[in-house]
Amino acid sequence: MSSNRTDAPSHPGRSHRTLVVGALLTALVALGQISTSIYIPSMPSIVRDLATTPEKVNLTLTGFLAGFAVCQLLFGPLSDRCGRRPTLIAGLGLYLCASLLCVFAASIQALIVGRVLQGMAACAGPVLGRAIVRDVYGPDGTAKAMAMIGAALAVSPAIAPMVGGYLQVWFGWRAAFVFLTMTGVVVLAATVWLLEESNPRAAHGHVDGPGLFAASMRLLTDRRYVGNTLAVACIFAGLMAFAAGGPFVFIDLLGLSPQHYGMLAVFTVTGYLAGTLLAGRLAGRMALDRLTLLGLVVAAAGGFAMLLAAAVMEPSVVAVVAPMALFAAGLGIVLPTGIAAAMAPFPAIAGSASALLGFLQMLVAAGASAAVGLLSHNSALPMAMVIAGGAALALLAFILLVPHPRLGHPAG
């Protein structure tokens, strides 16, 4: 893989390889998303099979997100010093071991431990995938590339719960973790076979770089980095609140089957896909700040529409899914533009910038999923409150920390 955009492939063989590597990068960025969503239709079944409670089963999601958050602080800086490729291979190998632990978990405690370890390893895919995109496409192309990857990623939240729903009906909840193990094998093999080192310093043998503390201090004193990162984190927390509360609202409260619940993801993903396609089309034509602000307003509208519906209407599929689709459209705009704007000024510490962003994103998401798990599952109102609250905090953080969006010209 080339380390800059000027080395674009000039003949069909290299073009085909570039497309395959692009698909691998998409899979790497999607690894955490798939690991989060495929087993969600099985959560009520896990409650029954392991003789536990919904609150403890929600800890399998919260623990995954917490592990995912913390270990990004290891993988990102390590890849800045030692290279993206070896760090990624090590993370994917650990992911396989953790997935097998989940397959054979005999108690809810063992499953929670397995999920924490799985999250710790799974973060290598997204954090290094984003850093590789920044290495390859540079500050000007990252937003567009992330938007295109985001458009492809929109398929995984639709397919994963559907696949998980049918695996639950046909084979039981352990089949979802068998699927994740097989996915890990394929992604690891493709990484070993296809991926070249993209960190130019590591590729030339220069493995020195700033430590985590120094890099973090530099990032946390940059208002634009912090503002965009908090916007991404709080808006993503709304999605994780929906993941934590959705199965209990739709399956237990509204009586849907696991496979039918999985199919509802199509509507949410349609909104997300629309947002990412719009972001990709407008990136380079419109300032990133302006695009991010647009996405935050759209997401907030969806979140508060869900909150209002949950407060004044009888619970129904439409009252939850329609506002969530609007929220997801805003999310689809915010993620690529907010990530690109946060990381663009830091090419020398792209791994650390991606890691710290991902850490805060998953830490806030873990808090949101934990909050939903602790609240009542007798209505959609608690879940809607967390989603709307996340959108409001995202908008507030962006306005306060990025106070003067550059509306007049495209921003890289």
Position 234 pLDDT exceeds 90: yes
Please compute the mean of the pLDDT values over residues 23-27 and round it to a whole number: 77
Give 286's strand partners: 283
What pLDDT does residue 200 have?
Answer: 61
The answer to which of 61-65, 122-126, 200-204, 334-338 has the lowest mean pLDDT is 200-204
Cα gap 367→345, rounded to integer Å = 29
DSSP letter string, 231-243: HHHHHHHHHHHHH
Residues 6+ positions from 387 with CB-CB distance below 8 Å: 238, 241, 242, 303, 306, 307, 324, 327
Q: Which carries the bigger pLDDT value, residue 358 or residue 181?
A: 181
For 111, the token pair is 């499953």
Cα gap 120→199, rounded to integer Å = 22
Q: What is the pLDDT of residues 79-106, one digit of tens each?
A: 777 777 888 888 899 999 999 999 999 9
Q: Return the closest-CA partner of residue 108 out of 37, 54, 169, 69.
A: 54
What pLDDT does residue 409 have?
Answer: 41
The answer to which of 53-67, 321-335, 364-378 has the lowest mean pLDDT is 364-378
Q: What is the pLDDT of residues 265-290, one digit of tens each?
A: 778 888 988 888 888 788 777 888 88
Cα gap 99→114, rounded to integer Å = 7
Q: Is 255 left (phi over 0), alpha (psi -120 to 50) or beta?
A: left
Position 391 pLDDT exceeds 50: yes
Which domains are assigned to the chain?
Answer: 20-197+211-401 (1.20.1250.20)
Position 363 pLDDT exceeds 90: no
Position 297 pLDDT exceeds 60: yes
Give 283's strand partners: 286
Position 252 pLDDT exceeds 50: yes
What pLDDT does residue 201 have?
Answer: 60
Residue whose tokens read 């800086």: 77
CB 67 within 8 A of CB 116: yes
Which range in 64-78, 113-127, 196-210, 374-388 is most confidently predicted, on average pLDDT? 113-127
DSSP letter string, 139-203: HHHHHHHHHHHHHHHTHHHHHHHHHHHHHHHHH-THHHHHHHHHHHHHHHHHHHHHPPP--HHHH
For 289, the token pair is 């700040």
3-state secondary structure 370-395: HHHHHCCCCCCHHHHHHHHHHHHHHH
Residue 3: φ, ψ to 5°? -100, 5
For 7, the token pair is 């080395």
What pLDDT does residue 210 have?
Answer: 54
Degrees, nearest 5: CA angle 303-339-387: 15
Average pLDDT of the chain? 80
Could you give the percent of the chain with pLDDT greater than 70? 82
Position 145 pLDDT exceeds 80: no
Please compute the mean of the pLDDT values over residues 118-139 and round it to a whole number: 78
Position 121 pLDDT exceeds 70: yes
* Whole-Å CA distances, 29 to 35, 47, 150, 162: 11, 30, 9, 20
Residue 185: φ, ψ to 5°? -60, -45
For 368, the token pair is 């949101």
What pLDDT does residue 21 have?
Answer: 67
What pLDDT does residue 36 have?
Answer: 81
Cα gap 29→90, rounded to integer Å = 16
Q: pTM (2 decimals)?
A: 0.68
For 130, the token pair is 């984003």
Q: Provide the 8-state DSSP code for 35.
A: H
Q: State whether residue 283 is helix, strand or coil.
A: strand
What pLDDT does residue 400 have?
Answer: 92
Residue 198: φ, ψ to 5°? -105, -15
